[in-house]
């Protein structure tokens, strides 16, 4: 069982997450063009995995010794008619 993270470790992880979210904001239009209707995972400002479904994304991340806690991931939706409002 992992111990309680230090304040400094928690602070660094918070800022890492903020940088990943900024990467998404900076590249959103590009991601829509490059990865339509796919799951995309970003770490350290770079795309580290792309997959058609969440299970495949998890497998690709695992191959790189990463998990969902290590990345910021999202599905790039292009068919908004599938959304339920």
In a domain? residue 11? yes
In a domain? residue 71? yes
In a domain? residue 60? yes
pLDDT tens per residue across span 48-77: 999 999 999 999 999 999 999 888 899 998
In a domain? residue 53? yes
Distance of CA 83 to the CA centre of its chain: 21
Q: Angle at Cα 50 formed by Cα 12 and Cα 66, nearest 5°?
A: 40
Give the residue numbers spanning the domain of 26: 7-80
In a domain? residue 42? yes
Mean per-residue pLDDT for 18-41? Answer: 90
Longest dimension (CA), the chain: 45
In a domain? residue 85? no
Query: Residue 85's pLDDT is what?
Result: 58
Q: Name the pTM for this structure.
A: 0.75
């Amino acid at each position: 069982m992992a111990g309680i993270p230090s304040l400094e470790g928690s602070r660094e992880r918070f800022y890492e997450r903020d940088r990943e979210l900024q990467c998404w904001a900076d590249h959103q239009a590009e991601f829509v063009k490059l990865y339509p209707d796919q799951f995309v995972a970003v770490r350290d400002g770079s795309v580290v995995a792309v997959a058609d479904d969440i299970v495949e994304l998890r497998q690709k991340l695992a191959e790189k010794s990463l998990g969902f806690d290590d990345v910021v991931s999202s599905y790039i939706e292009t068919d908004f008619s599938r959304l339920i409002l």
